[in-house]
Amino acid sequence: MNIIVTGGAGFIGSNFVRMILDEHKGTYVVNLDSLTYAGNLGNLEGYIDNKNHKFVKGDICDGRLVEKLIDEHKIDAIVNFAAESHVDRSLVDPGVFIDTNVTGTLTLLKAALEKNIGRFLQVSTDEVYGSLGEEGMFTEQTPISPNSPYSASKAAADHLVCAFGHSWGLKYNITRCSNNYGQYQFPEKMIPLMINNALNGKDLPMYGDGLYVRDWLYVYDHCTAIWKVLTETEPGTIYNVGGNNEKTNLAVVNFILDRLGKDTSLIKHVKDRPGHDRRYAIDSTKIMTELKWAPSVNFEEGMSKTIDWYLQNKKWLETIVSGDYQKYYDSMYANR
């Protein structure tokens, strides 16, 4: 199978590309990524020159390029990870989220339809369902009700994907996953940000009361779920993917501090994120029963591996935080 993976130099996309090259050797991957601040060829170290991998620097909004790649490489499927992915940034500058997440996805869909691609897999998020109270879980039937510009743009993309299936028979799947953690995550997201700050003895900025709940999934397990949906399902289906690991932010950060041997006095409660979703929890029954998917690690194992990885890859982290990251950090946190 020949596939285009978009956003394959980002956090989850690069983990997905490495998984394929390691474990599914009959697959050829064209990795299309525009290398925004979140894209990093360092995430693909040791894999760039793999004979089953071709990296192309380009924008998913460039329809001509996408069609050329489909023809040139006889593409069977597209897996779309490319996105602006950080909620906080979407609250500062929503426009680019519409450009990539909505217009970019539309561009890919048009190319996939025009070239009669066998499968289009949209990597979506549980955030399209909005927020939960203390009870309940998101199922695939939960109404779409996004709250941030990021989740609104992802929801719009999901609707477009379904509309292309409904109107013109595009063969699609959508996966909606909960919060991922693991190696190569950009340190704007909570877990790597807290690890980096703790390692450097800096304050850990905890939004509001810190009792917001996320359902954490180890990134490799998200990748195996996507692979199963891509290769083992009929088109036209949507699958939730989650870790069944509901944790408050405070519990996650305390775990990190404990593992690093640092003091909880580093935690500083700061001004909350506007419109902050209180709780996410995913019901993954459908993918677990229909596709026999299950996470390979529990939260403690996955987090231990993750923290060890950041400790062993300080150079990767230092390279990132030495660039524009400091400006970003100051603009987000200096007066919080």
Binding residues vs ligand DAU (CB under 6 A) = 85-87, 125-127, 178-179, 189-190, 193, 205-207, 212, 214, 249, 273, 280
Shortest Cβ 217–ligand DAU spacing (Å)? 9
* For ligand DAU, the closer CB: 55 or 212: 212
Q: Is 246 a catalytic residue?
A: no
What is the nearest approach in angstroms of ligand NAD to the Cβ of residue 324? 14
Q: Is 232 a catalytic residue?
A: no
CB atoms < 10 A from the CB of 297, how many? 17
Smallest gap from Cβ 51 to ligand DAU, in A, equals 32
Q: What does the DSSP 8-state code read for residue 100?
A: I
Q: Minimum distance between the CB of residue 73 and ligand NAD, rounded to whole angstroms? A: 17
Nearer residue to ligand DAU within complex by CB, 127 or 283: 127
Amino acid identity of residue 23, one-letter, is E
In whole angstroms, what is the distance from residue 173 CA to residue 117 CA? 13
Please, which residue, 266 or 329, has the CB nearer to ligand NAD? 329
Contact partner, 82, from ligand NAD, ligand DAU, none, Cβ < 5-8 Å per class: ligand NAD
Identified catalytic residue from 59, 84, 127, 158: 127
Cα–Cα nearest to 270, from 214, 190, 326, 192: 190
Encoded tokens for 186: 């950009």
Residue type, 196: N
Which regions of the chain does DSSP assign to beta strands (E)? Answer: 2-6, 28-33, 53-57, 77-80, 119-125, 172-177, 179-181, 204-207, 213-218, 237-241, 246-248, 267-270
What is the rounded CA–CA span in Å between residue 115 and residue 30?
16
Which of 126, 158, 188, 221 is flagged as catalytic?
126
Q: How far apart are CA 6 and CA 222, in angstroms?
A: 16
What, of ligand DAU, ligand NAD, none, does residue 221 touch, CB below 5 to 8 Å by kind?
none
Annotated catalytic residue within 28, 129, 150, 239: 150
Beta carbon of residue 69, minimum distance to ligand NAD (angstroms, whole number): 12
How far apart are alpha carbons 237 and 220 in whole angstroms?
22
CB-CB neighbours of 317 under 10 Å: 20
Which listed option, ligand NAD, ligand DAU, none, makes contact with residue 36 (CB within 5 to 8 Å by class)?
ligand NAD
Residue 2 contacts by C-beta under 8 Å, 6 or more apart in sequence? Answer: 27, 28, 30, 73, 74, 75, 76, 77
Pick one of ligand NAD, ligand DAU, none as the site partner of residue 39 (Cβ within 5 to 8 A by kind).
Answer: ligand NAD
Q: How far is the CB of 112 from ligand DAU (least distance, A)?
A: 22
Of 219 and 266, nearer to ligand NAD (C-beta) is 219
Q: Which residues sit at the interface with ligand NAD, rule CB under 6 A?
A: 6-7, 9-13, 33-36, 38-39, 59-61, 81-83, 85, 100, 104, 123, 125, 154, 177, 179-180, 186
| Partner touching 104 among ligand DAU, ligand NAD, none, CB below 5 to 8 Å by kind | ligand NAD
Residue 165 interface partner, choices ligand DAU, ligand NAD, none, CB cut-off 5-8 Å depending on type: none
State whether residue 54 is helix, strand or coil.
Answer: strand
- Indicate the residue whose CB is closest to ligand DAU: 125
CB burial class (10 A; 0-12, 13-18, 19+) of residue 272? middle
328 is known as an active-site residue: no
Enter the DSSP assignment of 98.
Answer: I
Active site residues: 126-127, 150
